[in-house]
Every structure is written in C-alpha cells, then in structure tokens.
A and B are shown apart, each in its own frame.
Chain A
Amino acid sequence: MSRKQTPLRPYFEKMPDIGKELRAGEVRRSQANVELVREQEEIIAQELLRVKNAGIPAEKVHSRGGMTIYDRLDYLVDAGTWNPLHSLYNPTDNEEGCTGVVNGIGKIEGKWAVIIGFDNKVMAGAWIAGQAENILMVTDMAKRLNVPLVWLTNCSGVKLMEQETVYAGRRSSGAPFYRHADLNHLGIPILNGIYGTNPAGGGYQGISPTILLAHDGANIAVGGAGIVGGMNPKGYIDEEAAQALIEGTKNFKGKAPGRVETHFDQTAYFREAHDTEQGVLDGIKDYMKMMPAYDPTMFRVAAPAEPKLPASDLNLLLPANQKRPYDAIQILARLTDNSEFMEYRPDYGREVFCGIAKIDGFPVAFVGNQQGVFPGYPDYANGEYPGVGGKHYRQGLIKQGEFVTLCGRDNLPIVWLQDTTGIDVGDLAEEAELLALGQSLVYSIEQTELSMMCIVLRKGTAAAHYIMCGPQANNNNAFTLGTPLTEIYVMHGETAAAASYARRLVKEDAAGNDLTPTLDKMNQMIKDYQEKSQPAYCAKTGFVDEIVSLPKLRSYIKAFTGANYQNPKSITPVHQMLLPRIIKG
C-alpha cells in the first residue's frame, strides 16, 4: 500500500486557531466604519474608471476591428487570477492621466506571470513621463519573483513634444531594455506579443524580449519611415519649408519598415505571425505552457483552505478613525488559510507579531504591528510612559530582526502588515539603541534572498515605513499595497506643522505680533498633508503599487505566494526548517 503526506505534518497540518467571530453588537456599531471605507472605495473606483477611459474611446478601437489592452488582458489571463498594479500611477501628473502602460500579476495557462502592456488607446502606446519608472517596477517584480514577464507591445515611440521627460537620465525609457537584458541573463524569460507600429523606442520594446510573436499588422524598426526629413539649412520652419513638408507628407507612400514580411519571412526574429489579435495571445499561452514551474505539491505543507472567518469582516474591523486601536490578529485571521497562525515569541516585543501561516497551502511568514496600549512596556521607559501600538521599541525591533533572519534561513516569503506611527524617540529610546536596531532590521531584510510584500493597512509613517519592508527595500519588496484607509507620510501633518512653525510661533508671540498668519500657514500645511497622504494620492505618486479593497487583499497575497513558490532559486527542505521548531520550543 502506498501512502502520502505533507511534510512536517505535526507542525503545519493544524496550526493554532486565531481570531473570533464578530458578535451582533460589534457588527452593529461598525456600520458607520463600513460606510467610511466605501466612500474611499468609491473615490478609487472613479479614478480607475478615469484611467481605463484614458485616450481614445474603446469603441473606436473596436470599430477598426482591434482590441484594447484591456480586451487583450481579458483574453490572455486566466479568469479570476488578475491582480492589477500601478493602475493610478502618474507621478508627474501627465495630461494623459496615466503612464500609458497597464500591468499586474496573473496566471496564464495556470502559471503565474508578471504581465504588462501598452495602452494602445493612449497616443498609440507612446513613451510618456513616468512610464519608464512604472516599467522598472514591473521588471523588478519579475526579477524578484523569478517568474516570466509577458509584454503586450504596441508602442509608437517617444511623445516627441515632451522628449526631455522620457529620454534623459539613468532610469529613463531606455533603461527597460537593459532590464530585459538583465532578466534574460538571469534566466527569466520575457514573452512579447507585438501589435501595431513600433518604431525606435517601440522597436527596442519589440526586439529586447526573449520570444517575439507578432500580429500580421505589426512592425518593429530602428525608426519609422513616416518621418519626412524636417531639417533644413535655415534652422527654422517658414512658409516655404512648411509647404515642402506638406507636399512631402501628402506624397509619402512608403510602408513602415520592420513588417512581418521582413521580420518573420526574412530575418525570422518573430517566432510566430498571426492574422488575428487573439492568435498572438494564443501563441503566448502556448509558450507559457513551456515555462518552468514546479507543481504546487512540491512546496505545499497542507491542503489549500480559505480562512474560516469571512474577509467581509475586514471592513468592520479596521477602523477608519486613525486614532482608534483594533486587534491586529483579528485582521490576520481573515487572511490566512483556516484562520490559523503559529506565532513567534508572542510574549517578547508585544508591539509586533511575527509568525508562520499558510496561504493556499504554502508556508508564509507574517510580520505586523499590534495596536492598543501596553502598560509597563517598554522596559527601558521605567514607567515614564507606556508603550503604544503601532510604535516600535527595543524588543520588537530585535524580534523582527531575528525573525527575518530565520525566515531567510528557512526560505519563507514574508508578508508585512504595516500600521505604524514610527519608532520610539527621545533620550531613553536612543539609549535603548533604537536608531541602530532600526537599521539592523534593514540589514536583516537586505541580507536575505527573500521575496516580500508589504501591505500598509492604515498608517505608514517615518522610518518605521521603510524598516518594515516598504517599497524602499528594493531588492526584496515585490510590491506594496495600500487599502482604502491607507495614509503614508513622513510624519503626521499636525506634527509636521508643529515641527516647522513652533519656533516662529514663539518668536511672534514674544514680539506681540498677530499669530494668525503663522497659524494659517500651519493649517494649510496640515491640509496639504491630509490631501497628499490619501489613498488615491498614494497610488498616483507611487507610495504604494495599488490600492486594494480589504476583502481583496488575500487575492494579492495568494498571487505573491504562488509566484514565489512557482520556480524558486533556493529551497529549504521543509523537514529541515528551524522556525517551526523554535516556535514549538
């Protein structure tokens, strides 16, 4: 008789239960909170609609017999697996209202891939400001997760009226081609479906991936033939030069170079050419079937299971009022398989929780901030002040550092659940070495080879935002999510106003001057901070990679986890893991 089981079954099959069902009264009193969450969700939904409708109407593309990028993604990605990222990203506030690329993580033919395509409704997929940074975040994600990058190229090249916004600098629109070379060098394949006219930058967008599949109407080239010579000895355009330009343009009959008849029939750069747009996507699906991916059984430690406690509770549990505490373990219980969690050193460093859970049957580490008040803690305060949830103290920083180090040893990907107001400050905190311990956590993260994702549940503040694997953790952070209740700032607006204007207030007061002008400035600063820390602003400026409704967070955690375990570069045999044994004692 043959028998099978999951590894370390006594540790992983059944972990301790966490969380509890909400009572009727808890649900009743939290209805106003649900409404506040919905208000923010509605703002985000309107913004998403605006971005989706950017450029020419979808109907116009359809009337030409074409597909929009959204149609292509719908056709390509396995149903129910798409997790969009950078949807509202537009850091330079382009007039287009977006960066002209649409991207995210999803499954194709059952395998995870990072997927990005040009929005062919927006200037035919031109290079516009902010786009290169968006692409860099996406190539970094494929590199971090070691999964294929899938491109849907449809790129008309530089928006010539604003070339200086895309062409200059170390991280500009030419940089993705080096990133593609880097991914190829690392053995991470890039599949490229090519549509439309792709001259110059679009040409390199076409040629730089690993596998090129073209639509019959597509072309890629060093430059376009449609550029009629515009230079003349005068150095400017006068009536005579304009007429020559008009005649030249009217009489231009050439076809764009680099067509399928060249790059399929002659150079054979294109592996496939398809007479339908769907055919190109079918070709990508066929290549995705060839991509390396372990069967999940290889790394699962238990059968996948949904949380016992419903995700819909999250809108009741996470207070929109940023000054309200809550039970962070109740949040975690709505995210993990079977609502189970194996906590590491729960009695040490009470302001943070660390431990192992299962996501879709895979082992995953979680680290997050506890909330509330901790009388008698931290020890070094000697009772001068109590510990407050969301802050970091000596023990919590040490605990996170050692936990991350052990996760590195056990190859456990980490999900960070941030809701932090900062690291403790003052002489006592400095004597307790918090400055060095914060940087020590940064070092601990950096010295691992782990993938991590960060969720800023509510507040991401001060140094605590980056020591807890915020987007600044370039080599480890795959992506960072915000929620409808996220606020991110270097310090709270009221604190910033006090820090900036307190001395001036003293001066004006001593001189007997009217304080109103200074107060006006302080209040304006507070208002600016409020506006510039809201979820939609965080998504637009890149504080986070996407704002995600609370019940949808698990979908992203599953994508992160599944991608991480699809083709890992390093493996710790489950039966050789240390952390579960350390936790058990």
Chain B
Amino acid sequence: MPELLAPIAGNVWKILVAVGDKVELDDELVILEALKMETPIYCDDAGTVTEIKVKEGDAVNEDDVLIVID
C-alpha cells in the first residue's frame, strides 16, 4: 500500500483530497509550508486515497506518512 511521505519538515498547509478520492500519477495532494515556501506533494502512483494521516495545520517531520493510497 503506497504511502505518501513528507520530503521535508514543515506544516501541513492544505490537503487537496479526501478519503475515497481517485488520484492519478502527478496529482497534487498536499501542500506543506516551511521556510516561507510552499512544497507541493505529488502522487507517485494512481489509486484511491484510503487514509489521511494528518490534518491542516499539523507539524510534520521529514519522512512522516501523510496519505495512504491503495
């Protein structure tokens, strides 16, 4: 089950999908905010969002799981 990881530490600024959404390769799923920059997190495979492990405003560390896709 592919997991979408945070590439850097930061705050979750926006979550652009919901559980059950079908997603495609390269879709933008989450935007992290760190160091005054937005870091978009893209889907690296097609599938369905089965779990969202964070909420907007959460602080995350590098490699934390953000979203699970089946």
Contacts and interface: CB of A to CB of B under 8 A. Distances in A.
Interface of A: 23-26, 28-29, 321, 323-325, 373, 375, 385-386, 388
Contacts of B43: 25
Contacts of A23: 25-26
Interface in B13-56: 24-28, 34-40, 42-43
B24 A323 contact: no
Contacts, number: 39
A24 B26 CA distance: 8
Contacts of A29: 26-28, 42
Given A321-B38, A324-B37, A25 B27 contact: yes
Contacts of A24: 25-26
B37 A373 contact: yes
Given A28-B24, A324-B37, A385-B35, 20 more contacts: A23-B25, A23-B26, A25-B25, A25-B42, A25-B43, A29-B28, A29-B42, A323-B38, A324-B38, A324-B40, A325-B37, A325-B39, A373-B8, A373-B34, A373-B35, A373-B39, A375-B62, A386-B8, A386-B35, A388-B36
Interface of B is mostly: loop
A388 B37 contact: yes
Nearest to B38: A323
15 contacts: A24-B25, A25-B24, A25-B26, A26-B26, A28-B24, A29-B27, A323-B36, A324-B40, A325-B37, A373-B8, A373-B34, A373-B37, A375-B62, A388-B35, A388-B36
Contacts of A388: 35-37
Contacts of A28: 24, 26
Nearest to A26: B26
A385 B34 CA distance: 11
Interface of B: 8, 24-28, 34-40, 42-43, 62
B47 to A, nearest CB: 13
Contacts of B37: 323-325, 373, 388
A504 to B, nearest CB: 23
Contacts of B24: 25, 28
Nearest to A391: B35
Contacts of A385: 35
A321 B14 CA distance: 15
Nearest to A388: B35
A9 B39 CA distance: 41
B28 A375 contact: no
A42 B1 CA distance: 46
B34 to A, nearest CB: 7
Contacts of B35: 373, 385-386, 388
A26 B36 CA distance: 24
A23 B38 CA distance: 22
A331 B24 CA distance: 25
A323 B24 CA distance: 24
A5 B68 CA distance: 57
A325 B10 CA distance: 15
A283 B37 CA distance: 56
CB-CB nearest 3 A-B residue pairs: A25-B26, A323-B38, A25-B25
A468 B11 CA distance: 32
A25 B27 CA distance: 6
A375 B37 CA distance: 14
Contacts of B8: 373, 375, 386
A13 B36 CA distance: 42
Contacts of B34: 373
A364 B25 CA distance: 37
Which of A28, A29, A386 has the largest number of chain B CB atoms within 10 A?
A29
A372 to B, nearest CB: 8
Contacts of B62: 375
Nearest to A29: B28
Contacts of A386: 8, 35
